[in-house]
Amino acid sequence: MTTSVVAEGKIRLAINQGVTVPEGWLIDGHGEPTTEPNDFKDDPPAAILPLGGDAGHKGYGLSIMVELLGGALSGQGCAAGDREMISNGVLINAYHIEHFTDMETFYDEVEGLMRHVKSSRFAPGFNEILAPGEPEFRTAERRAAEGIEVDDRSWQMACEIGAEFGVDLAGVGES
């Protein structure tokens, strides 16, 4: 999960597609709200806001913690103003659930929590409540059935990188 209001990849996709982003995603290099994703490439660059809306300082603290655990602890490094991303650090937690509780109790708690969350009233304009991961699971199913749509600029960039590595792209991407 991202600890910002949106993942950086969605900003880069908006740049490639030539579209604006929703209000509340970015502030420009001068701290002013912006919907222009190209501001992300300026000097000083725009910044993606932390999750949490008006209480973004809560997301800010979580972002720092995740950056340290996923960046410093992984050895991939932390954000330090460099504009070139080498790699995303990863933090993986693994738990032996039975060291804490028995599996049946754990599954009962998880299922009870999800029933409780999904029984909440819907926000205006919504007709269901999704659990974390459900939108991505649905997207994966849809893409497996229908394919993945890639905008022209992203495809061009992928082809350029592939060509640098000698990838034969003859016939690739044709439908």
Indicate the angle between helix axes 8-17 and 152-164, nearest 10 degrees.
110
Q: Which of 43, 51, 17, 22 is nearest to 34 (CA)?
A: 22
- Does residue 126 sit within a domain? no
- Does residue 175 sit within a domain? no
For residue 82, the domain's CATH number is 3.30.1370.60
- Does residue 128 sit within a domain? no
- Does residue 77 sit within a domain? yes
Give per-residue pLDDT as tens, 112-159: 999 999 998 888 898 999 998 899 999 999 999 999 999 999 999 999
User: What is the reported pTM?
Assistant: 0.58
- Does residue 87 sit within a domain? yes
Range of the domain at 87: 1-92
Tally of domains in the chain: 1
- Does residue 33 sit within a domain? yes
- Does residue 158 sit within a domain? no
- Does residue 164 sit within a domain? no
Ordered mean pLDDT values, 10 residues apiece, the chain (175 residues):
84 94 92 94 88 66 83 81 66 92 97 93 89 92 94 91 89 65
